[in-house]
Structure 1
């Protein structure tokens, strides 16, 4: 296992056919966080994204590349990247998209909200749905779906998070060591809901910071019907389990 480089922060960026976006987002990222390091997790992109990432990494020791055998889902890509980060003892681990929808310029503000255990946030979400947050150039049906998914998740799970599906977030490493990453079966964007809820259930502080989410200019969105279906089914299942546990707890208290 290689020694962790000098930076204490690692940004994990999963990629699949992001060749048109990768170089630009990395330039912006290193401008915003010059001492951070980046791990590109590429799922054997047919368009050559992995090869481009290797070429760029050859010229910059802050950039690393993890190649996976094929497209196996966003959740699995993040778990692989998080494992890589934890093995190298990074203190703060960030997840963000490669398509430009997440502005790297927001990261110093998000990281600044973290704190040592018990003194600040343990997880910071870049939120579209708090005061100051917004979306730009999003089709109405995507905006409606996202809003609906977040409201439904908030009500079903009983969490005070407005944008629990956000894929732009910062974790203290302790969170990812605690939440049993390899038990997270969710793929697609439900992975984000699952991990945030696990953090809340484990007692960690989850905060939200407003961001502007901009629809990608190049390439195709990875959102599809299967992703939406998985999220709906899983959140419903978790919500029912939560309510069942609450009912059992109430029943036990009444029988005492």
Structure 2
């Protein structure tokens, strides 16, 4: 959608997005003193995302955790894009990428005070990488901890919306499967696997959450601190399901924010049959252990 909108608050923006408007083409100019945002927006070319004159600055301390493995081509552009939309620290968790992602992360950390790096000796999976990042964040008392992919599948311009929604929720999940959400540039296999995966999880754990596997999230630190992260078993993409279900079991307020999930810009997808097999085993395990009640 090429049409651009200017709205005075996040609530009106969400109404437009739920009706199909593109979040990249909405200029939000809040007057809330907790959201210090310059009113001007610009864009590089026709139909491109609107860029605020200054990034949104919220009162809470925010950390964005970026797990990386062979993401050298995407890393620096993403770090720059994040800074255009949100004032936040960034933690790059690199699993000893052979393409030099870790070395580039160190360079970015030296150049930018808000960028930090956590090196891990080898690739263990998405779950352990996020757990290491979450533990790092809790040790440093960040108020909000965001997780997002490092391949531009999650739009940087949606970060202020995610943080704003966290004012009324303990966990906010960027959802492809609520009104206004969706996917772009996915082939039939990818759509089938994602839909079947969420349906499979809902059969065991309930349908309270529409997008169990979504990886664009904002956690309040109090919720993560209660989760006993050391006992999390999942290593692949089912990690997202386990943490969402733990949040539900703790009575957390979980909300979903519509997003458009775009296939990665550079590199290869890391979703493989091993992750699918793990999901097939782990979801019933949660249910059988008494973690899944409807």
TM over 0.5: yes
1:167 is matched with 215
Change (3 A) 1:243 1:82: closer
Question: 1:253 matched to which residue of 2?
Answer: none
How many residue pairs match? The answer is: 236
**Unpaired runs of at least 5, structure 2:** 1-58
Residues 1:211 and 1:245: Cα distance change in structure 2 (over 3 Å):
closer
Task: Please list the CA deviations of residues 62-111 of structure 1 after superposition, one character each: whole Å capped at 9, or x if unmatched.
Answer: 00000000101110000100010000000000000101100011011111
Structure 1 unaligned segments of length 5 or more: list them: 1-5, 247-256
Residue 270 of structure 2 is matched in structure 1 by 222
Moved over 3 A (4+): 240-246
Summarize the alignment of residues 200-215 of structure 1 with structure 2, pairs less than 5 Å apart: 200-215=248-263
After superposition, what is the alpha-carbon deviation per residue over 1:146-189, rounded to whole angstroms, capped at 9, x for unaligned?
01111111121024000010010000001110011110010110
Alignment correspondent of 2:4: none
Secondary structure, aligned partner of 1:170: strand
Q: CA RMSD in A?
A: 1.6
User: For residue 74 of structure 1, what is the aligned residue in structure 2?
Assistant: 126
Q: Give the number of the structure with larger relative contact order, counting CA–CA contacts within 8 Å between residues 6 or more apart.
A: 1
What corresponds to 1:139 in structure 2?
A: 187
CA distance, structure 2, for counterparts of residue 129 and residue 37 of structure 1: 29
What is the CA-CA distance between 1:45 and the residue it aligns to? 0.2
Match of 1:20 among 73, 83, 90: 73
How far is 1:245 from its partner? 7.3
Aligned to 1:111: 163
Q: What TM-score comes out, normalization by structure 2 length?
A: 0.78
- Considering fraction of residues, name the structure with more helix: 1
